[in-house]
Amino acid sequence: MKRATSIWILLLFLSFGIKAQTDDEFPRDTLKTAVIVDQRLGSFEREQLHTLDSTDKNLHTASNLGEMLQNTAGLNLKVYGGGGVTSASLRGGQAAQTAVLWNGMNLQDPLNGGVNFSLIPAFFIDQVDIHTGGYSALFGSGAVSGSIHTASMLKFSEGLQISVQQQFASFGTQQSGVDIRYSGARFLNTTKLFYRKADNDFPFINTQQFGSPLEYQRNANEKEIGIMQENAVRLGKKMRLSSHVWWLKNHH
């Protein structure tokens, strides 16, 4: 019992000594609060940016997003035949290492991380920005190759606008698109309809058969139907509420 009491008294004196030493060496009022304010985007490189202008967009309204990027931005895309999978390969990276966003929403497949650009009609996209620098790291931990941003341009007070496109090409290719927009001072509505079909019955020489006969490709037809509906309400000078709905059905 005396031994336990002695140990308790010793610990009590040690605690007072440590507390006195701490208060003497590190006064509480010496260090004052410091507040550092910085913008997150300002710490990243934004020079490596390529934006497609309206001319590039108007020349490829009848194409898919992959064809538009390949012809205007000079990106390295892996295309697996007509109607096949089209994936991006920025700066030598894989498709899963390139983030693809639509109005801030990531379109990458949760299973393989890729995006099939042949399924995205260029008719549905108003603006395309391509980031290949360190700035792309803000949009996903795996976006080491870069990021491709697609967005809709929603502008108020522009009245009624109607745009119609029609295309006919070889191998039974047909494509139609309708863009109806109405925007007032406080409300905006955009409706886009898209339809595309292709038989893809192109001829080829079958070297695997005797005599290398001329045959026609079968079972390579495709059909695509899409609807995009966007609405926006202006709540103030710097505030608005918007909704974006994109439905797409594709059959190969």
- 130-148 burial, b if ≥16 CB within 10 A, otherwise e? bbbeebbbebbeebbbbbb
Give the pair of three-digit tokens for residue 170.
């070889």
One-character DSSP codes across 187-247: EEEEEEEEEEEE----EEE-TTSTT--EEE--S--EEEEEEEEEEEEEEETTEEEEEEEEE
Residue 41 pLDDT exceeds 60: no
CA distance 110 to 1: 67
Residues 161-176: tens digit of each pLDDT? 999 989 898 888 899 9
| Residue 25 pLDDT | 55
> Which has the closest alpha carbon to 90: 6, 147, 46?
147
Residue 26 pLDDT exceeds 60: no
The confidence band for 20, taking pLDDT boundaries of 50, 70 and 90, is very low
Q: Hey, which of 8-22, 44-58, 63-77, 174-188 has the most confident mean pLDDT?
A: 174-188
Judging by beta carbons within 10 Å of its beta carbon (0-12, 13-18, 19+), is residue 218 exposed, middle or buried?
Answer: exposed
